[in-house]
Structures are given as C-alpha cells and as structure tokens.
A and B are shown apart, each in its own frame.
Chain A
Amino acid sequence: MATLEIKDLHVSVVSEEAPKEILKGVDLTIRAGETHAIMGPNGSGKSTLSYAIAGHPKYQVTSGSVLLDGEDVLEMSVDERARAGLFLAMQYPVEVPGVSMSNFLRTAATAVRGEAPNLRHWVKEVKGAMADLDIDPAFAERSVNEGFSGGEKKRHEILQLGLLKPKIAILDETDSGLDVDALRVVSEGVNRYKASGEAGVMLITHYTRILKYISPDFVHVFANGRIVESGGPELADQLEEQGYVKYTGKQEAANIG
C-alpha cells in the first residue's frame, strides 16, 4: 500500500528578485485509500505544495523531505516522479499545440506503464473512460488542451487520472471554474479512481462544495505556508460556516462558488 510522507517541507519560489519562502514546514502523510482535503484561503501556498511535489522547476525545496513508499521523491526528475506513481491534476492545464490528445495519452500511458498498451484494448479503454466523463470522442484528435474550455480541461485531467492510475493523486483546485454538472461528472471520475481502495488523494480546494461529492477522510486547513489545523470531515463544515477568518484574520468565505 502506497504512502506519501511530507516532512517539514520548506519551499521557495524562484523569481528574478530574491527567492521568497512560500511553504514554511509542511507535515503530511497520505496513505493508500485515504482522501485528504487541503483547504485554505487564496495565497496560502496550497498550489505551491502541489507543484513542489510534482517537481516544477520554479519551486525550490530548501529543506524537508518528500518520500513515496520510502523513496526520495525530491531526487527524482519530473517524469520519474510521475512514473513512480505521483499525479498532479493541474489547476491550469497547459496547451500543447499540434500534439493530439490520443497521441499524448498513449505516450503517457506507455511511459507510466513501462510498455505500450495493446492497441485494441487501449482504444476501448480510452473510449470508455471518455464516455464516463461525458467527453466527446472528437476530442481525441484535438491538440492537447488547445482551445478547451475550463471545464473541458478539467475533465481531461481526470481522464488522465483514470488512465494513468497513480498511487497518489494531487488534485489542485480541480473544482475551480466548474459548473454544477461538470463538478458532478469530474467528482464521479475521482470517485471511480478511488474505488480501488488503493489510491491516495490530496484534494486541494478553496471551497467546500466539491466535498459534497468527494468525501474526505481528513481535512486540513492550510494558511501562511503550513497546515494549521487538521481534523475529520466536520472541520469542513466548520469552515463552511465560519470561513477562514479564524486563521487569517481576514474575512474570506469557504462556502461560495
């Protein structure tokens, strides 16, 4: 069973000026079968946590460790992390003009699985996965994310999640910009992935509404670069009512959107 251990993680953002510390000692352990919601106000460093774990070059880990099943993730390149079983569903998926979705998916699956999937089974698998997410089959021949709406991009992130079946999935504000129908479809996709019981999920969100579809086992409040409170699902209810003011001193609601 997979375990992701984040210990005392400090991360700075690399910029033209002096590096700025965003994460100030994050401790979190996610085990297979668990869903952890990371909730926090804008600018608290939630996305930085996700990008640092995935290995984005803009973020520099200054101290601490990230281990996946005891292996040092921080020593791995971005693609090695993905092949080791980490997946980041991005808040802003990147457009790659001229690379078709079908080519991209097959290349990624080949890399992650270590061998090219049998073509006949693969076509069926992709078709089924697209149908589950209400994605028009025509998208397979379109360039990766190019000209997709926000909702279409998010569906395709979850499509990749389902096909690549990572050990640990980090979903970075997957709910942002989704209307009610899309939120339901995307959440169902995440729940199908979770259904194996072998997947660990880190669900990063500003708002509580996605938690009505995806039930968390743990809820963590993220503020000023670290986890400031942890609890069960009831903590989300508390945030729903009181917002983040208790943690930030500012009025910022968690229940709208």
Chain B
Amino acid sequence: MAVKTEDQQHGLTAHSHGAGAPVSSRADHFTSFDVDAFEVPGGREEIWRFTPMKRLAGLHAGAAATGAATVEVTAAEGVSVQTAARGDQRLGVAGTPGDRVAAQAWSSFTEATVVTLPKDTKVGPTTVTVTGPGEGKVAYGHLQIRAEQFAEAVVVVDHRGSGAYADNVEFVVADGAHLTVVAIQDWADDAVHVSAHHAKLGRDATFRHTVVTLGGDLVRITPVVTYAGRGGDAELLGLYFADAGQHLEHRPFIDHAVSNCRSNVVYKGALQGEDAHTVWIGDVLIRAAAEGTETFELNRNLVLTDGARADSVPNLEIETGEIEGAGHASATGRFDDEQLFYLQARGIPEEQARRLVVRGFFHEILLKISVPEVRERLEAAIEAELEAVGA
C-alpha cells in the first residue's frame, strides 16, 4: 500500500489564498457606536455573506427588545460585580461595534454587568451565566470583564436558554494582568446569538480566550483583540460542533498596531448532519507600527457526515517586514478512514474508534481549559453530540 503524505493521510485539503476579487484591507473596517451609522445589511456584504440573514430574528434590522436575558454571577472572593448604565465611563473602552448588530446591542441594552478582578491578586474562577430571554423573544445585553493591573483570574461566561440575543462583551486587560476566559454557547435549539467580543490588552498583559459553541440555531461570535501596549500576548482558542441545520460562525480578528505583541489563534470544529454549517473567518492585521509581532492562526474542521459544510477563510495582512513571524493555516477534511482502520485493527469497535478520533481532534483545545468542571462538562457534551448520530 502506498505511503501517504501526512496531509493526505488526514484527508485535508488546502485552503485558497483569496485569489480573485481584491479584498479591502481590514484596516478600513468601519466601526461605530451609532446603530444608524450602519445600513441594514442585506446579506451580500462581505462580513455578512455567510450568515443566513432570515434566521437572525431581525437583530440586524432594528428588532426591538421584547424580553431580557438573565445575568447571574458567581464571583470568586474579592471580585466585584456591579451593574452600570450606558453612560458609565468605563463602558465601550475595549472596542467599538464593527457591525450593525453589535451597534444595535450597544444602543439597546438596559443595564450592563461589570465584573472587576482585583489588582495584584490571583482569584478563583468566576462564572457569569447568561440565560436567554425565552423562545420568540429578543434581548440585548452588555458585559464587561475588567482585569486590573497584575490581576490573575479565570472567568467562565456560560450562555444557555432560548430566544434571540445580541450583546457586546468587553475584556479590559490592564498592564501585566493574566485573564483567562471561557465563553460557552450551549443554547437551546431555537436560540439566535450574535455576540461581539472586544479585548484590549495592556502592556505585558496575557489574554487567553476560549470560545466553545455547541448549541443554538444560529450563533455568530466576533472576537476582536487590540493592544494598548507592548508585550501583549493573546491566545484565542475555539471549539465548535455543528449538528444538522445549525449555523455556527466565528470571526476572530487580531489587530496588531503595537510592536512586540504576540497572538495565536486555534479553532477546531466538527460537523455532522444535513445542512450543518460552520464559518470561520480569521483576520490578522499587522500594521506598519507593529514591528516584532509574532502571530499564527489555524482553523481545522472535521466533517463527519455528508450534507455538512465548513467555510474557512484565514486572512493575514502584513504592513511591515520587521516581524518575528506570521503564519496561517486552514484545513477541512473528512473523517480519516486510515485512523479508523488502525484502531479497529487493534480490536477497538468502529463506534468507539470514531469517538476516540473525534475526542483526539479536540484534545489540544480541551487540554487548555484550566477549569476542570468546565472541561469535564465539555467532554461530556462532545460525547453526547457523537452519540446523537451514533457516530
């Protein structure tokens, strides 16, 4: 039997490098707090072209809030939890809405939740549980996580329930702070969630951000990272699992405008069932001033059944040659029959072998989730996903 190269062995195909129509620079991307500054998108716009607009429950077209999400915080000792009105000076500092839904959420939330992690202190895990407004209802929200200077903390943001929900989530990471975030989208089947994450990293700040998207009819997360000082280090990890009919979209953007910062993006997704659709658009921009930047982004998708579709587009723009390194990779592949054969040839039944392979595929992401309860819950959720189709 022929020797296969590694990529063939894993059934991977290379991504295209955007040959064809010229794409405008990410640097020109429009942002505004004013919802009326954005036209109502029709679905043909570059940033919306993968999203099924009809399933957005009008979040993009001015749908009024008809309900409210419930936000509960289980705070570690020393962590302060406050609510804030829109006029609060602290809000909006981590970033500006980059699309109409985020601007709508900014204009429409009634009260923001502000979680502050105390300076110079290491605190235990804090959990923010956001429960949707209920089936058929629309709600907007705002959450800000502030890690003060040299704070060290883990925050889990757990989304559950039903309804349509759009929000902005800010991460303000002060100089030297270490903030680890796990954002879980474990929505009910009807839910629509469009969320803009804005992270601003201070000098020598470390930000580890993991997005886990499992449930919901349509989930679209746009994490944006900017740096306010040198030495910032961002790691963006993602894990998603789309079943029949689900649309799960992730659009990380790392804006390197400051020198000597680092970013690493790794998203992995599995898909199964008819019309399961995932979209990953990974943008990295290294501006002229961002000398000494080190960045890498990777997206891998594992297609488990026919009828599922994974779109994956990495974009890397480099405006200076004085960098440490920059790279990107994207691959989408079918289940690898050679792996299955190998495991089965050792007596392992097919179903169990499939589970081993899928668990192995996600292992690198799960391994980095530092809260054991969360990791165990996600492992169990992935097992349940696999059992649902008897994969």
Name A residues whose Cβ lies closer than 8 Å to a Cβ of B. 47-48, 51, 54-58, 77-79, 81-83, 87-88, 90-99, 103-104, 107-108, 111-112, 143-144, 160, 164
Contacts and interface: CB of A to CB of B under 8 A. Distances in A.
A107 B341 contact: no
Given A79-B349, A98-B359, A164-B346, A92 B341 contact: no
Contacts of B339: 94-96
Given A58-B1, A96-B357, A99-B360, A77 B348 contact: no
Given A58-B1, A93-B342, A94-B342, A112 B347 contact: yes
Contacts of B356: 96, 99, 103-104, 107
Contact of A78 (B344, B357, B363, B364): B344
Contacts, number: 92
Interface string B3-17: 110100100000000
Contacts of A96: 339, 342-343, 356-357, 360
A83 B352 CA distance: 14
Closest 3 CB pairs of A and B: A98-B360, A98-B363, A82-B347
A83 B341 CA distance: 14
Interface string B99-129: 0000000000000000000000000000000
A144 B9 CA distance: 14
B362 interface: yes
Given A98-B363, A99-B359, A111 B341 contact: no
A78 B1 CA distance: 17
Contact of A92 (B1, B345, B350, B363): B1
Nearest to B300: A97
Nearest to A103: B356
B364 A98 contact: yes
Nearest to A58: B1
26 contacts: A48-B1, A56-B1, A56-B341, A77-B344, A77-B350, A78-B341, A81-B345, A82-B344, A82-B348, A91-B1, A92-B1, A94-B339, A94-B341, A95-B339, A96-B356, A96-B357, A98-B359, A98-B361, A98-B363, A99-B360, A99-B363, A104-B343, A107-B348, A108-B348, A112-B347, A164-B347
A112 B346 contact: yes
Interface in B222-251: none
Contacts of B345: 54-55, 78-79, 81-82, 87-88, 90
Secondary structure of the B contact surface, majority rule? helix
Nearest to B346: A108
Given A55-B345, A98-B361, 12 more contacts: A48-B1, A82-B345, A88-B345, A94-B9, A94-B339, A96-B342, A96-B357, A97-B360, A97-B361, A104-B356, A107-B348, A112-B346
Contacts of B341: 56-57, 78, 94
Nearest to B364: A98
Given A47-B1, A77-B350, A107-B356, A95 B9 contact: yes
Interface in B326-382: 337-339, 341-350, 352-353, 356-357, 359-364
Nearest to B367: A98
A104 B343 CA distance: 8
A54 B4 CA distance: 19
A78 B354 CA distance: 14
A22 B362 CA distance: 39
Contacts of B347: 79, 82-83, 108, 111-112, 164
Interface string B306-339: 0000000000000000000000000000000111
B353 A143 contact: no
A134 to B, nearest CB: 22
A113 to B, nearest CB: 9
Interface string B286-304: 0000000000000000000
Contact of B362 (A81, A98, A108): A98
Contacts of B4: 92
B223 to A, nearest CB: 24
B360 A79 contact: no
B95 to A, nearest CB: 33
Given A95-B6, A99-B360, A111 B346 contact: yes
A51 B359 contact: no
A15 B373 CA distance: 47
A92 B364 CA distance: 24
Contacts of B352: 107, 111
Nearest to B2: A92
Nearest to A83: B347
B221 to A, nearest CB: 24
B342 A111 contact: no
A103 B342 CA distance: 14
Given A47-B1, A107-B352, A99 B357 contact: yes
Contacts of B343: 96, 104, 108
Nearest to A99: B360
A90 B348 contact: no
A220 to B, nearest CB: 20
Given A77-B344, A90-B342, A93-B342, A111 B360 contact: no
A71 to B, nearest CB: 15
Nearest to A54: B345
Contacts of A81: 345
Contacts of B363: 97-99
Which of A47, A79, A104, A164 has the largest number of chain B CB atoms within 10 A?
A79
Contacts of B349: 79, 111
Contacts of A164: 346-347
